[in-house]
Structure 1
Amino acid sequence: MSGGAQLSVTNHRSSARHPVELAIIGEHRRLGDIMLNLINVSTTGFMVRGVLDLGRGERVTIRLPQIGRIEAFLVWNDPDRAGFQFERIVRADDFPKMIKALQPNPRLRSPH
């Protein structure tokens, strides 16, 4: 895709990532519905496992518990994984509720 997205959220690679194993459906303007295997999520984005036919900057819309629909841009892609950045940062008070609903590894969940 020429031009790519102009990402307004800076890359916060230090954001805490929470492991998940969740199959979700992403909506893409060219490909329609695509299956994504979500393997971690943070307040600024998520990572998926698997091969994607997407270029850097392409957008997908996903639906997450507590957050609802949120758009994300592909930041990087290798043969086995891909990293997406949300178009907006997930609110700090919504994030723990989303994590609890996704039920990642309880050892890594914060105690509140």
Structure 2
Amino acid sequence: MTAPSLDSSARVATDASARYAKQLASHLGRRIEAEPVEDGWLLRIGSGTCELRPEADALVLSATAPDAATLATVEDVVGRHLVRFGARAGLSVEWSSGTRNEAVAPEELDPA
């Protein structure tokens, strides 16, 4: 059975999304695990994660954590650093309200 998790996301408008994603991963990668993935970067912050996915006009952030406190930490760390790096460009991060994904046994998953 997979563990329940909370998710949140943010879409940060910028024409330099790839640069900010790489800068964030490089900076945070000194203290946490930051690994390149197919569409961007995956940051592991405690028991939570945040995917950084650059798009042409925005950097999409997708956070996941097992509980509200960890999700808040992931949002704070990623959001605070990104805002600081993008201060001159006026970047702001507004996370969507989290949603809860309930635990599901693997045999209950729809294979389609």
TM-score by length of 1: 0.29
Structure number with the higher strand fraction is: 1
Structure number with the higher helix fraction is: 2
TM-score by length of 2: 0.29
Ranked by relative contact order (alpha carbons within 8 Å, sequence separation 6 or more), the top structure is 2
